Amino acid sequence: MIPAMRPVIVAGNWKMHTTPHDAGELAVTIARRTHEPDVVRVLCPPYVCLAPVRDALAADPAGQDVGVGAQNVHDHLAGAYTGEVSAPMLRGLATWVIVGHSERRRDAHETDEHINAKVRRALEEGLRVILCVGEQLDEREDGHAETVVDRQIRRDLEGVELSHQRAAEGTWLTVAYEPVWAIGTGRTARGDDAARMAGTIRAALGDLGLPGGGDLTPVLYGGSVTSASIDEFLAEPSIDGALVGGASLKPDEMAGIVARAALTARARREATPPG
């Protein structure tokens, strides 16, 4: 049974695309094309586009329930860190933040220690965290996928407050399983692969003391998601949506993904006994 409190989420990661000139218009177009009250929608533009996207969504009725997220956050509150953005700087600009994306781990050499600090800082500022975990191709081929993801979850959340009170405040933590070998390569995981890894993620969360043993935590799939591939993942009861990359820049693609997510959300709600 899927806990009634677990939302279905579609988050779009725009990466290094759009400018302050066109980001707001794109955000509103997507909001209008994806107006589904049963789906939590989040758009994560580049830092320089956060304010234009926030303002454009707030000014349009279709966009007022769309969340705005940052793609990264620094692990210090302030300091001599040229080019970085801290959690307090995001206050008022975003309500969500992606932490530990595979491209950050790879290109910026972020360690689990750094990611753990980022999670802490984000939560201190009241940001909702989308924590990304996932294995490399060689790790999967060597049979270590579950071990890698289990280790990432435990290290990234070590010592993070996991109280019932924080859980009751809302979806403070969402985990995105993103197999690194399936991002931008044309390869995709299978639905049962993602479901098995979601089980690994929730088992680790339960061991860390997360309320509900991890069963209340949404787990998204993120690995070259498109409107054509999303069905296989949302058919799995343990997968609660998607972290969408390139397709999130295309209104038609987002419309298809969110429409499928809405069907999943409604079916799950109808299947959940009252109370």
CA-atom Rg of the chain in angstroms = 17
Residue 134: per-residue pLDDT: 94
178 assigned to active site = yes
Catalytic residue among 36, 139, 146, 178: 178
Could you read off the pLDDT of 42-83 as tens digits, one per residue?
A: 999 999 999 999 999 999 999 999 999 999 999 999 999 999
Three-state SS for 173? strand
Q: What is the mean pLDDT of residues 94-105?
A: 96
Q: How confident is the model at residue 162 (pLDDT cuts 50, 70, 90)?
A: low
Could you read off the pLDDT of 108-155 as tens digits, one per residue?
A: 999 999 999 999 999 999 999 999 999 988 888 888 899 999 999 999
**For the chain, which domains are there?**
8-270 (3.20.20.70)
- DSSP structural state of residue 78: S
What share of the chain in percent tops pLDDT 90?
Answer: 80
165 has pLDDT over 80: no
The per-residue pLDDT of the chain, averaged, comes to 92
Residue 38: per-residue pLDDT: 96
Could you read off the pLDDT of 27-37 as tens digits, one per residue?
A: 999 999 999 99
Residue 272: per-residue pLDDT: 75
Catalytic residue among 101, 110, 114, 236: 101
Q: What is the mean pLDDT of residues 185-208?
A: 90
Q: What is the mean pLDDT of residues 213-224?
A: 91
139 assigned to active site = no
In whole angstroms, what is the distance from residue 166 CA to residue 123 CA? 10
Dump strand ranges (E) for 5-157. 8-13, 39-44, 67-70, 96-99, 128-133
Could you read off the pLDDT of 248-257 as tens digits, one per residue?
A: 999 999 999 9
Q: Which residues on neighbouring strands pair with residue 11, listed in sequence order?
A: 42, 243
Contacts of 68 (CB under 8 A, 6+ apart): 42, 43, 44, 45, 50, 53, 54, 57, 93, 94, 95, 96
